[in-house]
A and B are shown apart, each in its own frame.
Chain A
Amino acid sequence: MNEAPNMKIDLCGLELDNPIIPASGTFGYGYEFAELYDINILGSFSFKGTTFEPRFGNPTPRIAECPGGMLNSIGLQNPGVHAVIENELPKLKKCFAKKVIANVGGFSVEEYAKTAQLLDECEQVGLIEVNISCPNVHNGGMSFGTSCEAAAEVTRAVKRATTKPVFMKLSPNAADIAAIAKACEDAGADGISMINTLLGMRIDPKTRKPVMANKMGGYSGPGVFPVALRMVYQVYEKVGIPIIGMGGISSAKDVIEMMLAGATAVQIGAANLTEPFICRDIINELPYTMRKYGINDLKEIIGGAHNG
């Protein structure tokens, strides 16, 4: 009865000590945080969205604030997949012994596949997470994540390029996110990551201009939690593959809610930026919160809110 609660979960054959995973774009390539705490306590982490070519990203200001969180328009700044494999992964290996989640961005179906193929050869990469919120340059800039056909096409191309589990990371800006999730599952996806940021903007009344140079940006943080939770709940009813849930998670209680909605694991994004020790704190707090809600084995609550 007084045994330590079990936080272990299984993600397509990847055994995680706990379901806590820092989200892509808020944890760099890991070593900034390794200076703060031993990041080996994490379940895993998802590294900065990586594209085939290096990218500087959007002009600054790239950040704006709102009461429930923040907006960002980083524009996928990254050194390109070759530099990630040559420089970042070896550096990461020195401070992180576990498997990492490789987050892949792209602007064409071929680019996603080429990048995934290179990452397929990295032994450190446990699974590939495909960010389909990016605009498709061959289709008037429409995001891959808002069309079932485009999402399925990327899924098929990435699946052909790698033998590692492929998680499709969905955009909440789609009209029917559950339909996109189903299209990805039917195209062979091993799992779903959700949600990416919601498109938003801020205007400075003094200058009468948008705050961010790119005008619009992605909204995330605690304000999006109820939306993310509802979407995970809906997608869980539509698909049979595991879901990594994220969007506004900032406490151990949020983690439990997200898992009850249907998530097998969770990611934490914006909260890392304002509270750099948040993932460590949630991991420490989780056993107590589990006890409080009478949970002995965390994986048993996955989708628990759907029963009855």
Chain B
Amino acid sequence: MKQSVFTIESNDRIAENTFRMALTGDTSAFTRPGQFANIKLDGFYLRRPISVCDYNANGLILIYKTVGEGTEYMSQLLPGGKLDLLTGLGNGFDTALSGENPLLIAGGGGVPPMVKLAKTLIAEGKKVTAVIGFNKASEVYCEDALKKLGVNVFVTTADGSYGVKGFVTDVMKSLDYSFFYTCGPLPMYRAIRKTVRTEGQYSFEERMGCGFGACMGCSIKTRSGAKRICKDGPVFDSAEIIWEEPKK
């Protein structure tokens, strides 16, 4: 983990309630796709965790949805502004597990980390397929970014206004893959779990106090005991996860 100040290069709306922010700064603490940054915002006590969508030696890309006051505030920041980030947080996806033709599955706010993951897998010579799901056409993003990398991309929308009508699981059924990586909401995970035919890795979210393992705010029970989503995760192997039924 590192703490450093980044400069905002651009901050643009790319879909409904969805923004893409490019920042320059010290990215040396990032070692894997699926890691995240914890962002200090003026006027908010806790930092906001956002996955790193893509990064290189000079900067990084964040894609975020405006869901509350913090992300709303972020969407109004202008190029040239500075942001204090904790970088290189979390374990990230393990691309060594992927096999020859991995499948990436993402829903809504879970799509961003798939970009760097796809880039890494392709650089390692793997054949990558992605299924990304949204509610409706106006929310779709990252399709082109993934296609440009050479990923075979399927888009689903719940209302059928773009791509395949339905959910990511409707497309997955007819695909062949060696391993899967997924990021998205819990209801999507419950459906995926019943559909997948291989091992895989799931990325989890929780409200965080620190984001680097100090407060026990983000604990999850796994088959190898209590883990912290921010430090031992956010990515967990499918075999590790204990699936609890949704609370009423």
Contacts and interface: CB of A to CB of B under 8 A. Distances in A.
Interface of A: 25-28, 32-33, 35-36, 48, 56-57, 60-70, 72, 74, 77, 211, 221-222, 270, 272-274, 276-277
Interface stretch (B114-122, B125-133, B202-210): B202-210
A62 B45 contact: no
B67 to A, nearest CB: 10
Contact of A63 (B40, B46, B220, B221): B46
Given A63-B46, A65-B45, 17 more contacts: A25-B216, A26-B210, A32-B213, A33-B214, A35-B1, A57-B216, A60-B219, A62-B218, A72-B209, A74-B215, A74-B217, A211-B207, A272-B214, A273-B209, A274-B210, A276-B1, A276-B210
Given A36-B1, A61-B206, A61-B207, A70 B45 contact: yes
Contacts of A68: 45
B213 A56 contact: no
A26 to B, nearest CB: 6
B3 interface: yes
Most buried by A among B1, B214, B219: B214
Contacts of A28: 213-214, 216
Interface string B49-92: 00000000000000000000000000000000000001000000
A270 B208 CA distance: 12
Most buried by A among B3, B206, B210, B217: B217
A277 B3 contact: yes
B50 to A, nearest CB: 16
Contacts of B218: 60, 62-63
Contacts of A26: 210, 214-215
Contacts of A273: 46, 209-210, 214-215
B46 A276 contact: no
A188 B212 CA distance: 39
B208 A63 contact: yes
Contacts of B221: 56
Give 3 closest A-B pairs by Cβ, nearest first. A273-B210, A63-B217, A61-B207
Most buried by A among B3, B40, B215: B215
Nearest to A223: B45
15 contacts: A25-B215, A32-B212, A36-B1, A56-B219, A57-B219, A60-B207, A61-B206, A62-B217, A222-B45, A273-B46, A273-B209, A276-B1, A276-B3, A276-B210, A277-B3
Given A26-B214, A26-B215, A62-B207, A221 B45 contact: yes
Nearest to A55: B226
A221 B47 CA distance: 14
Contacts of A69: 45
Interface of B: 1, 3, 40, 43-47, 86, 206-210, 212-221, 226, 231
A175 B215 CA distance: 28
A63 B228 CA distance: 13
Contact of B231 (A27, A32, A33): A32
A65 B219 contact: no
Contacts of A66: 45
Nearest to A54: B226
Given A60-B206, A66-B45, A274 B217 contact: no
A36 B43 CA distance: 25
A77 B210 CA distance: 16
Nearest to B220: A60
A259 B176 CA distance: 66
Nearest to A73: B217
A77 B226 contact: yes
Contacts of B226: 56, 77
Contacts of B220: 60
B11 to A, nearest CB: 23
B216 A276 contact: no
Contact of B216 (A33, A35, A64, A74): A74
Contacts of A74: 215-217
Contacts of B213: 28, 32
A282 to B, nearest CB: 15
Contact of A72 (B1, B206, B217): B217
Most buried by B among A48, A66, A276, A277: A276
A244 B214 CA distance: 21
Contacts of B46: 63, 65, 70, 273-274
Contacts of A63: 46, 207-209, 215, 217-218
A35 B36 CA distance: 18
B140 to A, nearest CB: 24
A74 B216 CA distance: 7
A72 B215 CA distance: 9
Nearest to B221: A56
Contacts of A272: 210, 214
Most buried by A among B46, B210, B216: B216
